[in-house]
Structure 1
Amino acid sequence: MNVKRVFGAVVLLCGASVLGLTVLMAANPRQSPTSVSSGVDANSASQRADTQSQGQTPERKLAEIEGIWRDWMKRNGVEKSAMSLSKGGDILKSAGVGREPDRAYPLASLSKAITAICLNEVLSAHEFDWSSTIGELAAVLSQENITPAKEMKSLTLAEFARHKSGLPRIVHQRKTALRKSNLPPQGAMTRAALSVPENFGKRGDFLYSNANYAVLGSVAAALTGKSYGDTCKEEVLAPIGIKDAVADMRGGYGGWSMSSDDYARFASHWFELEKVNARQFAKGGMPIRGSYGFGSGITTRENGRYYSHFGKWTNAGPRKQNVGALFLVAPDGIAFVASWQGSRDYDIYHDLKNKVMAALAQ
C-alpha cells in the first residue's frame, strides 16, 4: 500500500483503569535475530544491533538506560518487567526480570498508537482522510452495524484522534456505564459512543476517552472489510517483521499484547521524525500541535520532540491481571519500551519516563 504516514501528537494522557482485562499471550514468542533475550534472570542483556542510521548509539548510554530501568524496578517494588531499546526497527538492547523481552504481554493504552498509525495507512488508500467526518463515513460504518446519531456526524477523525470529540471518559449505554461490563468490545463501545445521547459532550476541549480510539479502530476495520486486528497486522506490523502480536476484542483502544522488543521496533520505525514531519499533513489535517494525536503525547525539549504514552490496566480480583507499560521515542529516533506486572500510580510512570528521557538527551 502507498506508505503515507503521519503522526501528530502531543501531551501525554494515560490509559483508563479497567476491570477484567483478558490477557492474550503469543504462543511462540519470536526471538530477535539482533538481540539475546535475558529471560527470567535477566542478567544478560541483548547485544546491540548494527543500524543504518547516522552513527551508532554509544553502548555506555544503552547500559545507563538499562541501569535506570533496573533501579526504578527496585525502588518501586516491581518484580516482573521487560525493557527494550530500538532504532530504525533494530533492537539495540533488551533485558527482562521475571519476564522475557521477546514474549508478548498486554500493553493497555499503548495500543492507541498502533490504531492511529494503522488507520493512517488505511486512509492513504481511500478517498477519506483525517478531516473526513463520521457523516461522510456513515455508509462505511454501516458495514460494522454502526449507525451514528446526527449529533455526531459532523465530528472529524482528527477530533477523535486528539480526544476532542466530547466523548466522556466512561461511555454509557443508556443508563449503564460500559465500564461495568469490563470495557466492552470495540464495536459495542463505538455503537454506544456514536448513538447514545448521554455520550454527546462538548467538542473541542481535550477529554481523554478510550471510546475515541474504539471509533478509529472501527473505521479502520470498516474500510478494509477485515477485522481490526488483521487490518493493523497487515498495515503496520507485518511490513516490519512483527508476527507475534495479538489483539483482543478491545484492540483499538487497549487490547494489544506484544513483546517489548516488538513494540520498540514498531515505535522506532513508525515514529521516526523524518516520517513524522512530512507525508500526509496537508491531506490529513494532523499537524504536530495541540494536546494529543496519533495515540501519543509529545514533550518538547531543546533537542527536539519526544513521543510517548502510558498504559495501565487496574483490575479487581486475584485472577485478573494488573499491567503497566510505557513507550518513549527520542528526537534521534531511539525508542524505549517497558512493560511490567502490577498497577502503579502515574507518578511512577513519570519517574521512569523522565529519567530515561534525560539519559537519551545526553
Structure 2
Amino acid sequence: MKALVLSVLILALLPLAAASQDADRVEAMRAAYAEWLERNQTTGTGALAFQGADTYAIGDATAPIELASVSKSITALCAAALLDSGDLDMSVSVRDVLGRGPDVSVASLVTHTSGLTEDVTQKLMPEWLDTDGQRGFDVLEAMSAPTGVSGQYVYNNVNYALLGLVIEASVPDSYEDTCKRLVLDPVGVTGMPSPRAGGFLSWGGWTMSPLDYARLHAHWYGQGTATGRNPFDYPHVQLFENGPYYGLGTVFRPNHTGDGTFNFWHFGALCFPGRMNVGSYAVTFGGKWTAIMGYDACVDFDTMLALDTQIGRTAYGAVE
C-alpha cells in the first residue's frame, strides 16, 4: 500500500515539476536575451511560446516590431499553402506565371537557387523607405537576368520579391490579403505592412507583435502542421555538406536529439544609417520552444550567432 501511495504521489507531482522547469527555462531565456541586449548596448522586446500554446512576453511584447527578413516566412508559408491547395504549381516558370520575368521555377525562388545573384533591392530600398506601395514590380523592372548557377543557393531578396508577385498572380486577391487569410488567420494573429518598410512586404516588410509572431512561428513550424512535421516535402536545399537546409522561408535542420522533429530559425535586419537600424530573430526548437526577438540595432554575423547560441543553450540546457 505504501508503494502504491508513493507512486501516486510521484505521478501527481510530475506535472508540477515539469511546469516549474518550464517557468525556470522561460526566465533563463529572458535573462539570456537581456544579457545579449546589454552587451550590445541596445534595447529590444520579444516573446516566447511553449508548444505553441503558452506565450510569455519580453518587455512590451504587444507593440508591433519590424520582422525584416523574418517576413520571408510569411511569404513562403503562403506559397506552401497555395501549393497544398493546388492553386500554385512550383515547378512552373516564373515567366509562365507572370507573363514576363526570368525563366526560373517558382520553387527556386523559395530556396534562393534561381541563379538570380544581383540583389538590386539593396540599392533601391533606401529610396523606398517611408514611401507607400509595395515594390515587387519595381524589382521586376530593375532586376538583371540570372547570372549564377541554377540550383546553387545564393540568398537574394529578389527571389522573394518575385515570389510575392507569383502569389498575387495565382489567386484573385492581393498578396497581402491572401497571406493574411492563409497564414495569419488560421492562427488568429494580426500583422500588417510596416508603416516604414511596407514597400518590402514580401521579402522584409511585415510587422507584428512578438506575442502574435511567436504563436505564428510555433504553429507553422511546430508538430501540428505539415510544414513543421515534414519540411522536406516542400522545396528545400542543403546549404553545405552535413549542414542545415533552407526552405519555407527559413533555415532548418533535424533536431540533434534524433526525435524526428526540426529546428527552424532566421534573422532579419533593416539597416539604413541615420534612418532605421533594427534586427529580428525567430526560432522554434523541436516544435517545443519558440522565441522571437526584435532589437534596435544592426549587428554583424558573429553577434547574431551569439544570440542564437545563447537562446539555444537555454532551450536545451539544464536549468539550475
Q: TM-score scaled by structure 2? A: 0.80
Q: CA deviation at 1:287?
A: 5.5
How many residues align? The count is 283
What's the secondary structure of 1:342's corresponding residue?
coil
CA contact (8 A) 1:83 1:336 kept: yes
User: CA RMSD for the aligned pairs?
Assistant: 2.6
1:307-347 alpha-carbon deviations (Å, 9 max, x no partner)? 10001111123xx1210100011013321110011212221
CA contact (8 A) 2:82 2:88 kept: no
> Aligned match of 1:355 in 310, 314, 317?
310
Which has the greater radius of gyration? 2
What's the secondary structure of 1:327's corresponding residue?
strand
CA distance in 2, matches of 1:159, 1:288: 9
CA contact (8 A) 1:101 1:261 kept: yes
CA contact (8 A) 1:91 1:264 kept: no
CA distance in 1, matches of 2:282, 2:228: 19
CA contact (8 A) 1:271 1:333 kept: no
Unaligned runs of 5+ in 1: 1-54
In the other structure, the counterpart of 1:270 is 220
> Aligned match of 1:229 in 176, 201, 220?
176
In the other structure, the counterpart of 1:125 is 85
Residue 127 to residue 225, structure 1, CA distance change in 2 (3 Å): closer
In the other structure, the counterpart of 2:31 is 67
Are 1:346 and 2:306 counterparts?
A: no
In the other structure, the counterpart of 2:74 is 114
Kindly, what percent of the aligned residue pairs are identical?
27
CA distance in 2, matches of 1:105, 1:84: 11
CA distance in 2, matches of 1:276, 1:230: 21
Q: Which has the higher contact order (CA 8 A, sep 6+)?
A: 1
Amino acid aligned to 1:90: A
CA distance in 2, matches of 1:252, 1:186: 8
Q: CA deviation at 1:279?
A: 6.4
Amino acid aligned to 1:129: D
Residue 325 to residue 242, structure 1, CA distance change in 2 (3 Å): same
Q: Decide which structure has greater helix share.
A: 2
Residue 281 to residue 71, structure 1, CA distance change in 2 (3 Å): closer
Which residues of 2 match residues 82-101 of structure 1 at below 5 A?
Answer: 82-96=45-59, 100-101=60-61
In the other structure, the counterpart of 1:192 is 142
In the other structure, the counterpart of 1:314 is 271
Are 1:168 and 2:117 counterparts?
A: yes
Residue 216 to residue 357, structure 1, CA distance change in 2 (3 Å): same
What's the secondary structure of 2:166's corresponding residue?
helix
Are 1:217 and 2:174 counterparts?
A: no
Amino acid aligned to 2:221: F
Amino acid aligned to 1:110: V
Q: CA deviation at 1:88?
A: 4.3
CA contact (8 A) 2:71 2:206 kept: yes
CA contact (8 A) 2:120 2:142 kept: yes
